[in-house]
Amino acid sequence: MLLIIANGTPVLSRNILGSRFAWPIDFGLIVFDKRPLFGYSKTWRGLFVSMLVTGAVAPLFGLTAAQGAFFALLVMLGDLAASFTKRRLGYVESSRFRIIDVLPESLLPVVILRVYLGITAIEGFIVVALFFIFEAVLSPLLYRLHIRKRPY
């Protein structure tokens, strides 16, 4: 659930706030390959909202607010790593490369916080696999509900 919350709140904040406070994390930086570092869709607003909301709900899952915020930070860092990788491979912002999109943002917090989450390595693998399936199944529905911009 924390993965879904941490990953979903930036999307919901975009739908609620529009372009307000949507400053790109990379400040529009174009790097050596003439492509953006991350892209315009990765914003400070998304990062902060994810950390704030995930931190607020973390106590419901047996974690402290600080652990929840750190969990969200790790999810967002994984998402940034995915965006960085996709830009280097020539994919445009908000394009889909499912394994790159899902793996870093789910694996990073599960591996680093496994002890705090109280899960084994096998359970961590199951969490990552379930998140992958959840994203694949739910994404088209979120598109039809006008929550996501693309049906992925």
- Segments making up each domain of the chain, as ranges: 2-144
Using one digit for the tens of pLDDT, what is the confidence trace for 19-46?
A: 899 999 999 999 999 999 999 999 999 9
The residues near 118 (Cβ < 8 Å, ≥ 6 apart) are 62
How far is residue 136 from each of residues 98, 118, 141, measured CA to CA in Å? 8, 26, 10
What's this model's pTM, rounded to 2 decimal places?
Answer: 0.89
Using one digit for the tens of pLDDT, what is the confidence trace for 76-98?
A: 999 999 999 999 999 887 777 88
Instruction: Report d(CA 150, CA 127) in Å as an integer.
Output: 24
**Residue that has been written with the tokens 């993965």 in this structure:** 3
Helix and strand numbers, DSSP H then E, in the chain: 6, 0
The residues near 50 (Cβ < 8 Å, ≥ 6 apart) are 6, 7, 9, 10, 72, 73, 75, 76
Instruction: Report d(CA 76, CA 119) in Å as an integer.
Output: 21
The residue-averaged pLDDT of 39-64 equals 96
The residue-averaged pLDDT of 5-22 equals 91
The residue-averaged pLDDT of 113-140 equals 90
Using one digit for the tens of pLDDT, what is the confidence trace for 118-127?
A: 999 999 999 9
